[in-house]
Structure 1
């Protein structure tokens, strides 16, 4: 395990961050259909599992995943998300870093758990829907349509926030297991398998 971030680490964070963001953005397009909007934490976390797990084979020092999450959060803020997305992505990136470090960046089980925990950051994108409900749905009515906003409102009672967190975790778990299976050879080479 390295102690400091190197230039190569920063390059990996940038490359994998870009790939992760493009896949996340692509999967998020399903949100234009109301029923898929409420499933986005699950869908996006599965969709990004392979690059996330491949990136994990390159993580060898504390802080890499925190920086990765922070960059993902910042890019999402640049496209219109609230500061809550940044806070969730950076905070869960730090928590994932702590989980990976506990396994000395070599534990197969902790790599899956850390990736699953990190994947819950997607809930931060939807949190304004729950904590700033009136203004969020007014904005949704103006940006989309009354029918779309009404459909989303019906599918997102306050208590459903718990399901969003669960969907992010389960999606992250499925995505991590998929990524690990697809990238088994890379995990073996990195000594994580």
Structure 2
């Protein structure tokens, strides 16, 4: 008969180290601060892009008004050559401004899609819940995070549903995994409407 003998002395056995509470709090605070900084940065970028678009639209309107005035002058003028040249210049200027405005509109629509999403997260009460990963898979959004206790997660989800971007939306799955220090969760597959915001 075979006998198994444990040759490891007690002092040689591995000891599981626990993450200090202060480090957990620091990581949580750092994660929250990072989310807020990203949200504020994206919000500022969005406002800058919007202001630039408004200025370009104003310049385009002014150029069109000026062109209309020159066409009116052309109708009443005897020597049309200078006015024809200026009208051609104004038309080229308007064409250029339209291209710039179209490029800005395209850039605006793709450069700040996460701003409403991060703003929604930043406005939540996240003392006991912090996010670790936000991803989009197959057109649907997955939100991963951790919480101090399992009962903090439903409260956080209810707050999330009250934010404008998630209002009226439903979540298809919530996975929860516990360890000695915290509760990890993944909120899966919210409505495609939300995923469309970060398309």
| TM-score, length of structure 1 as denominator length | 0.29
Please identify which structure carries the higher helix content.
1
What TM-score, normalized to structure 2? Answer: 0.28
Q: More strand per residue: 1 or 2? A: 2
